[in-house]
Amino acid sequence: MVMPLMSLLSRTSLRSSLAHRPLLAHSSRSLSTLPNLPLFRALQNHDQSHLAVVHSASSRSFTYGNLVADVVRAKERLETTGDRNGLAGERIAFLAENSYDYVVTLLSILASDAIALPLSPAFPVGELKYIMDNSQAKVLLATEKYAGKAQDIVKAGLDREPVLDVRGKIVTGSNGEGVELRDLGQSRGGMMLYTSGTTNRPKGVLIPQSALTAQATSLLEAWKYTPADRLLHLLPLHHIHGTVNAIVTPILAGSSIEFMFPFNTDAVWRRLAAPFLSDSSSKITFLTAVPTVYNRLMSSFSALPVDVQEAARKGIAPENLRLNISGSAALPTPTKKAWQDLSNGNVLLERFGMTEVGMAISCGLDFTDRVDGSVGWPLPGVEARLVDPETNEVIQPGEEVDANGRQREGEIQLRGSTIFQEYWANEKATREAFVDCGDGRGKWFKTGDVATRRTVDGAGQGTSGDWAQGPMYFIQGRLSVDIIKTGGEKVSALEVERELLSLPQVSEAAVVGLPSEQWGQKVAAVVVLDAEKAAATGRNGKPWGALDMRRALKDRLASYKMPQEMKVLDGPIPRNAMGKVNKKTLVKEVFG
Ligand code: AMP
C-alpha cells in the first residue's frame, strides 16, 4: 500500500489520538481473541494480578491482566492497518523504548500472525532504511518518542512505503477477561532480527513463531524461570539476548521484568541494593548481561557509599540473586572470579548463542556445572556436533584428542526446532549456511564458531538436568577472525585473550591475526593497561610493556601462541552494544 506522506502524517496523528482514548469495555464488541499458541496460552493462564512489567525509573507497573488486555487492543488496532490480504507473514517494523509499550507491541505483532521486526532507535536513519528496504516491511510502528525518527525513515524514500502508525503511551485500565484463544492453523508469524553485519551488510534472520517458542521452552527448562523471578533488564531490544532470554522466556514463565535502560552502573547498583536498604522494592533474582556489563559494574563499585556497597553485595549474593548469566561474548575468567568474590560466592553462568539459533549451549544451574572457560552442554532440544573445518570430518564423541594429544577444534554445527528458518530474501546465504548430512533428520546450521569438547571432572553429572551431562564445549572463537593460523599451528584468540586478562596489568585485550610473510599470520594483541599497575611494575624506568608481557606468559602459553606484537590503547577497546569487538575494523584502525 503506497500512501502520500501528508496523508500518512494525518493518519498518524489520528492514530496517536486514538491511543489516548479512554478504554472501552470489550463486552460492547464481539469477543476478543488471541491465537491459540503456547505463548498466549501461558499469558492467559498466569495469575492475572501478578506483575508482568515494571519500569524502574517511573515505577509504572503492569500486571499480566493488563498485558493480555493491552495486547488484544494493540492487535485489533494493528489489524486495521492490514488490507484484505491481512497481516499474516508481513513484516511489522517498530521503534520503541525499552518499556511495557515495547512488550505489548512485540506480542501484538505475534498475535496478528505477523513478523515482528524491532529496530534499534540508536541506528542512523540510513541503516534503518536499509533494513526497511531489505525486509519490505508493510507497517512501521513507533512510540511518540520516536515519531520523528520514524518520519525521517519514511521521508528517506523507501522501496515499499509502509503504513506509519505512531502510538501514544499505553494507558492501561482493564484486564484481559473475556479473551478467547483461537486456532491459527498454519502460523506465518515470528520475529526478524538483523545480524550485526561485521563482514557483509546485515542479514535479516527469520525466526518463525515455532522456533521462538522452542527457544523459550528450552531456556525455561534449563534455567527454570518462575513467577517468583524478577529479571532486571539492561539490554538493547534488537538482539536475541534482550528479546528471547529477557522478554519472551520470562513472559512464558510468568516472571516479572523490570526495565532499566540505558545501562547506568550507579543506578543498577542502587537498584540491586534497594531492598537491603529498608526500601520496599522487590529483590532482583535474575540478571542476564554481557561480560562488559559485569566488568563495568565491578569497576564502578568502589565509588558507591559504604552502606550502598554493603547492601549491593547482599543484592547479588547467591541467596538473593538466584541466577546471574553472562553471554554474547567470551567471559574472562578474572571477571567471573571477581564477581564471585564480590557477591559472596555467586558464580556467573556462561552460555553460547547467536541470532540464528537463540541460545544453543549453556552451563547448568548447579554451581559445579559452571566450569571456567566452558559454555556447557547443548540446551534441551538442541543437537550439536563439531566438524573439523579442514577435513569436514565430524569429530565423534571419544575422538576429541588427536594423535599428538592435542584437543581437536571443530566448527559448532547445530540443528533442532530452535534454529532459524532463513536469511530474508537471501537464498544464497541461507543455502551456504546449512549442510545436509543425509541422515534424513534435517540440515545442520554452520555457526562459524569453533570449539573443543572435553569431559570435566565433577561436572556434567546430571544435577542441572538430563541435558547437562557428558563432555562440555569450550569456545575458541570465530572461524573467520579468532582462529589464527601461524606457522602451520592454530591459535585461538580467545585463549590468548584469557591469559592476557589474567595479568594484573591488563584490563582489556583483543587478540588478532595479522598477515605475515614468514608465518602466514602472526599473533598480535591490542590491550588497555591498568595505568597504576603498569607504572608500578615496569622496569628500567619504562612502564610495563610487550617484553614484560611475554615474560609473564612464558610458562602459560606455547611460544607460537605468544603475541609477537602488542599495541597499547589509551581508551577502551571499541565494542558494540553487546560488548563485542569488531576485530576486522580494529585491525584496520590499530595496525593500518
Ligand atoms: P549475535 O548473533 O550477535 O548474538 O552473535 C553471536 C556470536 O557471539 C556467536 O557466533 C559467537 O561468536 C559470540 N558468542 C556468543 N556467546 C558467546 C560466548 N559465551 N563465548 C564466546 N563467544 C560468544
Tens digits of residue pLDDT in 402-447: 999 999 999 999 999 999 999 999 999 999 999 999 999 999 999 9
Class in CATH terms, 230-478: alpha beta
- Residue 166 and residue 144 in contact, taking contact as beta carbons nearer than 8 Å: yes
Within the chain, all domains assigned CATH 3.40.50.12780 are found at 230-478
Note the maximum CA span of the chain: 85
Determine the Cα–Cα distance for residues 95 and 143; give it in Å rounded to an integer. 7
> pLDDT category, 140, cuts 50, 70, 90?
very high
Tens digits of residue pLDDT in 24-57: 334 344 578 999 999 999 999 999 999 999 998 8
Average pLDDT value for residue range 66-89: 90
Strands 489-492 and 483-486: antiparallel
Residue 436's Cβ-count burial label (10 Å; 0-12, 13-18, 19+) is exposed
C-alpha cell, 1: 500500500
* CB-based pocket (< 6 A), ligand 1: 195-196, 239-240, 327-330, 350, 352-355, 375, 447, 449, 475, 478, 578
Q: How close is the Cα of 337 to the center of ligand 1, in Å?
A: 21
pLDDT at res. 3? 38
| Mutate which of 243, 288, 352 for ligand 1 pocket (most atoms within 8 A of beta carbon) | 352
Within the chain, all domains assigned CATH 3.30.300.30 are found at 483-591
The answer on pLDDT for 199 being more than 70 is: no
pLDDT at res. 479? 92
Q: Whose CA is nearest to atom 9 of ligand 1?
A: 354
Q: How close is the Cα of 29 to the center of ligand 1, in Å?
A: 47
| Full 3-state SS string of 235-268 | CCCCCHHHHHHHHHHHHHHCCEEEECCCCCHHHH
pLDDT at res. 578? 85
The answer on pLDDT for 19 being more than 90 is: no
How far from 76 is each of 117, 143, 437, CA to CA, in Å?
Answer: 18, 17, 45
C-alpha cell, 359: 541460545
Average pLDDT value for residue range 88-98: 97
pTM for the model: 0.90
| Mutate which of 325, 354, 418, 474 for ligand 1 pocket (most atoms within 8 A of beta carbon) | 354
pLDDT at res. 198? 59
Q: How close is the Cα of 74 to the center of ligand 1, in Å?
A: 34
Taken as a whole, the chain contains a residue count of: 592
Determine the Cα–Cα distance for residues 137 and 539; give it in Å rounded to an integer. 61
How far from 7 is each of 11, 140, 205, 361, 531, CA to CA, in Å?
Answer: 6, 15, 32, 49, 59
The mean predicted confidence, pLDDT, of the chain is 91
| pLDDT above 70 coverage of the chain, percent | 94
Class in CATH terms, 483-591: alpha beta
Average pLDDT value for residue range 515-532: 92
What is 10-44+63-188's CATH number, 2.60.120.200, 3.40.50.300, 3.40.50.980, 3.40.50.2000? 3.40.50.980
pLDDT at res. 197? 67
Tens digits of residue pLDDT in 213-267: 999 999 999 999 999 999 999 999 999 999 999 999 999 999 999 999 999 999 9
- Give the type of residue at 448: G
| Low-confidence winner among 309-313, 317-321, 485-489 (lowest mean pLDDT) | 485-489
| pLDDT above 90 coverage of the chain, percent | 82
Instruction: Tell how far CA 466 is from the center of its chain.
Output: 25
Average pLDDT value for residue range 87-98: 97
| Low-confidence winner among 154-163, 172-181, 292-301, 336-345 (lowest mean pLDDT) | 172-181
The answer on pLDDT for 63 being more than 60 is: yes
Return the closest-CA partner of residue 269 out of 255, 260, 60.
260
Q: How close is the Cα of 329 to the center of ligand 1, in Å?
A: 5
The answer on pLDDT for 5 being more than 60 is: no
Within the chain, all domains assigned CATH 3.40.50.980 are found at 10-44+63-188
Determine the Cα–Cα distance for residues 223 and 592; give it in Å rounded to an integer. 44
Ligand 1 atom with the smallest distance to the CA of 447 is 10
pLDDT at res. 162? 95
pLDDT at res. 6? 33
**Residue 25 belongs to what H/E stretch?**
none
